[in-house]
Amino acid sequence: MLATYDRSGFVEGEHRGHAVVVDPAGAIVSAWGDPDHALMARSSAKPMQASAMVRLGLDLPGPLLALTASSHSGERRHLQGVTTILASAGLDASALQTPADFPLDPRARDAWVQSGRAPAPIAMNCSGKHASMLATCVRQGWSVTDYRDPDHRLQQAILAEVQQLTGDEIPPVGIDGCGAPVHVMTLAGLARSLSRAVLADPGDSSRQVVDAMRDHPEMVGGMNRDVTHFMRAVPGMVAKDGAEGVYVAALADGTAVAIKAEDGAARARQVALATILMKLSPADASALEGLASIPLLGGGRRVGEVRSTLRP
């Protein structure tokens, strides 16, 4: 069990799932549930996807490289960044094949709607990744109309990068919510992928990506997102959230954590990650305390909370 949620002293329910900690050598040192649980890593795989693009020649400044690995909130900085990436390749937002959507952040979404704008591909939280996929294709001289196709040379290069960083044999891919391929891997493999990136040589593409994410956490999520708060709370740590209750994080020394909530609950993955990190990095425990529980309200006041049951 990853977490429970209570109201007025009564436990209403549980969030079940799996979590694993690997050391800098990639060995499993702690596990809850099945450390080799197979999952679709969803957006937690974006650092690996971005690494493949850098290896193929994508050359962006730090904030835009962090945006490449993001599930952004749709803030002004994010949308301007997507536009800049596309313009660097001679493209505009019409080239994006992300589904039309509203910004992820509630305030950005409300401002979008109040301005009379309809859902648009650029507002979708994966548009940074897609813009960089298009820019990579242009750099390589590859077609851009079918860049999401699993058989496209870009997607084949991403598949090879995922296999190399996770150490897993990747079965046939599926389709993620944004329309790009999504890969199945083990939970431990996901943790190892970020550990290997953190420990790679500074010039390696995977290291360039995680360094950009650590330097610009607001581009990875947004000003009000827990993934951004995690990276600010623990110096040198990189983290990436994913849909359906997935999280991966790696400390500066290469120790890494991966989490999957079986019911897909984002709140369970957050409190579980905070609880594990408070044990792994006790010096940062006070900064993480605010992420270790999520209040539940009744009549406008706190009457319960979501809290992890993990005991590292």
Please tell me the distance from the alpha carbon of residue 149 to that of residue 141, in angstroms, as a whole number: 16
Under the banding of pLDDT at 50, 70 and 90, the label for residue 312 is low
* CA 84 to each of CA 17, 64, 127, 131, 264: distance values in angstroms, whole numbers, following the listed order: 39, 8, 12, 9, 33
pLDDT in tens, 151-205: 999 999 999 999 999 999 877 689 999 999 999 999 999 999 999 999 999 999 9
pTM of the prediction? Answer: 0.96
Domains, the chain, with CATH or none: 3-308 (3.40.710)
Distance CA 295, CA 310 (A): 18
Q: CA 56 to CA 142: how far, in whole Å?
A: 11
Q: Is the dihedral of CA 108, 110, 112, 115 positive or negative?
A: negative
Question: Is residue 102 over pLDDT 90?
Answer: yes
Q: What gap in Å lies between CA 232 and CA 238, rounded to an integer?
A: 9
Residue 279's SS3 state is helix
pLDDT tens digits along 52-99: 999 999 999 999 999 999 999 999 999 999 999 999 999 999 999 999
